[in-house]
Structure 1
């Protein structure tokens, strides 16, 4: 077997392979002889069909099978001998495939890029300093009250925040339009669930009233026939309901796992959860700044095969998130919606893998258990969570990936200039959410590359 490798780009190789004709012909002949032992054909006894007839009838089919198997086997042998690390399946084209001639084929493949890490030294990283105040706890309790509120019918005009039960029909001119009607719809004024201007015009409405609302659909409205159009909605108000917030008493706090109904302990648990959430937000904001700096300092080429794999994964996540069902064909979602995020994830994954490799980072069972115990604190029965994670290799490997990522980020953080910035609880959460670039799975790529 003769092999030559052409470098067509930083991450693309063209491998040409030549296999002696004798090897192919011998393999074809051997397989035809095996087939002749069992072939049944009119006019011949079983196993007595002449080889010339067997070759005429089955020779082309058998040769195609042999050539396919040989190309796959010789491709693997070639990339192994040439120390190539493919980043996806190759494109294989046959150049010469004729009886009596050497088999020649070309495999075009992408390889993982060789990464020489550049330092992020000089990068300024903002690290939020957050303290959960009593006012934050009080605001969280108020949020919990609203989430558990009920609606009580009132005999007054509707106010912002009230829930109205309405029938409505939309018109363009004098003609009703499709999808513009409903009966018994429950609408919370101020929720922003209807087009701008609709909800505001219902403030002051009373049960039993008929209202006529004038609105203009946004220019970028999803239904093209309505975009930018002026419309009229005829609305019948059946009921006005006000939000009834529950009292913060023993019965209320029992809903949140405080079985004895102790209010002070309830506030302590909320403060503890908020503190943990704030710490996670701080870690996430710092991590994303570090990873962005790493990516900016190391603009490596990214194999398209890996980008496509990540794109397909993001499509499946999107389908699950929007409840499209297991049978939904994710190929209907356009690649361009996910390609940029997919490329970023792959790039960061490759770079993190190199950080882990260069610094010989590893995660022991003690490291993994400590991380699992930390994660388990948000559950009511943390001991069971720890037992489950530590007894499940797949879950354990996911935690190992997270631990390795944290260690890699810590190594990189030593190269940066860290500036502490005081933030409120809400500011820290908002900053972390805004900073997040969707690379939370990059560590799995890094772990796979390291392995």
Structure 2
């Protein structure tokens, strides 16, 4: 087998791999000899089928396997010897299309190599960590929100308003016929909760206890039940009661509803949660500062294919954000602009840098961390957690999507430990402005 370099420009590499016909033939014979003892064929005892007949019967298939294994072996040896790491899967194609058994096989392999990543002196990087303390006003505001979520409803006189709860009997009909799941008695519905079909709750505003109303609505086109999607419906409703919202009192009883021993303990839990939220926001701001510093500090050649793919991905993502009504990919080609390419270069540069830092420092995502990530994601699919777990187990791309952000955060935390970090105490509003500035960039 011979490997000849045909291109070496920047990060682009190309090689011609020649596998001698005799080498392939030997590989085929070795495979057939290994399988011969277990092969049965009419007219021959098990293991006694002549090699010539085996070669005629199974030769073409075994030749394909031997060819693929030999090429894969040659590629693996090349990468081990050269130290190259391809940015994407190498492109491999057979060049002598008129090949016949016994001829040498000539294959062309081309790829873009990952660049050499320069070392970085992290002590030269200065970062600012914004620190926000949860003051009494923040805690009181959070407790007030908790009380509102624990609100109760009491009977009231007069017409129903948005935010009130109406207790109703209703029976829904499509084309004059009742349909499954369209009727209920004594149903408590909070007006403005948007828990019913669009337009339903609005038509109950202004009604009083004892009132009746035929609510006319149209099921959305994307409604889950196909037999109802896009259909006009009429719900005959009777208002049994109208109730106004009453916020729960801030006392020990409320605290116990949220699992705390008393109100003071609940205040402590709320303050801890708020500071955890502030810490998460502060980390995001400091991470952006680190990435900006690394982007300005480190420069190296980038694989064009990775930059192009990233720029296209960015263009595609931004297009969908600007066209939220399009949920599929049945649209024309989206051209990446110079701005997309510039952002793509930054992402590729930082991605390669963080990946190399993680590799050199043996930073890995543990099984426990990966399992926790799956569990967190699975919670978004209540009742289908098992199916989600199985989907992830069978989908390598999904596994990578879950591992990537964990790995990146571990590398970022590693750099935080080495960089010069100073703390600055700021207000909640200042932190919020810093976070909003991230979103505007």
TM-score band by shorter chain is 0.5 to 0.7
d(CA) in 2 for partners of 1:287 and 1:252? 38
The whole-number CA distance in structure 2 between the counterparts of 1:8 and 1:181 is 70
Deviation at 1:76? 0.9
TM-score by length of 2: 0.60
Q: Which string of whole-angstrom CA distances, capped at 9 and with x for unpartnered residues, describes residues 231-277 of structure 1?
A: 99875534323334333332332344533x2x334323322332232
* Runs of 5+ unmatched residues, structure 1: 312-331, 364-396, 438-451
| Cα displacement (A) at 1:354 | 4.6
RMSD: 5.5
Deviation at 1:25, TM superposition (A): 1.5
Relative distance call for 1:222 and 1:29 in structure 2 (3 A) is closer
Q: How does 1:288-437 map to 2 (within 5 A)?
A: 288-291=288-291, 294=294, 300-301=302-303, 348-354=350-356, 402-408=409-415, 422-424=426-428, 428=431, 432=435, 435=438
Q: CA deviation at 1:190?
A: 3.3
SS at match of 1:273: helix
The 3 A distance-change label for structure 1 pair 200 and 411 is farther
Structure 2 Cα separation of the partners of residues 14 and 280 of structure 1: 46
1:138-287 pair list within 5 angstroms: 138-166=140-168, 167=170, 183=184, 186-192=188-194, 199=201, 202-211=204-213, 236-259=238-261, 261=262, 263-287=263-287
Q: 1:432 to 1:230 in 2, by over 3 A?
A: farther
Q: 1:35 to 1:271 in 2, by over 3 A?
A: closer
Contact persistence 1:302–1:347 (CA under 8 A): no
Within the alignment, does 1:64 sit opposite 2:64 as a pair? yes
1:295–1:347: 8 Å Cα contact kept in structure 2?
A: yes
**Deviation string, structure 1 residues 107-144 (Cα, Å, up to 9, x no partner):** 44454344569999xx9999756342322111111122
Q: Which residue in the other structure is 1:86 paired with?
A: 86
Superposed displacement of residue 67, structure 1: 1.4
8 Å Cα contact 2:285/2:438 also seen in 1: yes
SS of alignment partner, residue 405 of structure 1: helix
Compared with structure 1, are the counterparts of its residues 99 and 405 closer, same or farther at alpha carbon in structure 2 (3 Å cutoff)?
same
**2:16 alignment partner, SS class:** strand
Match of 1:237, SS state, is strand
| 9-18 or 66-75: bigger deviation | 9-18
What count of residue pairs does the alignment treat as equivalent?
363
Q: Name the residue aligned to 2:18.
A: 18
Contact kept? 2:5, 2:14, Cα under 8 Å: yes
Q: 1:80 to 1:335 in 2, by over 3 A?
A: farther
Match of 1:378 in 2: none
Asked if the contact 1:87/1:306 (under 8 Å) is kept, the reply is no
Instruction: Compute the TM-score of the two structures, normalised by the length of structure 1.
Output: 0.59
SS in structure 1 opposite 2:86?
coil
How far apart, CA to CA, are the structure 1 residues paired with 2:116 and 2:258?
52
Say which SS state the counterpart of residue 208 (structure 1) adopts.
coil
Q: Distance in 1 between matches of 2:432 and 2:414?
A: 23
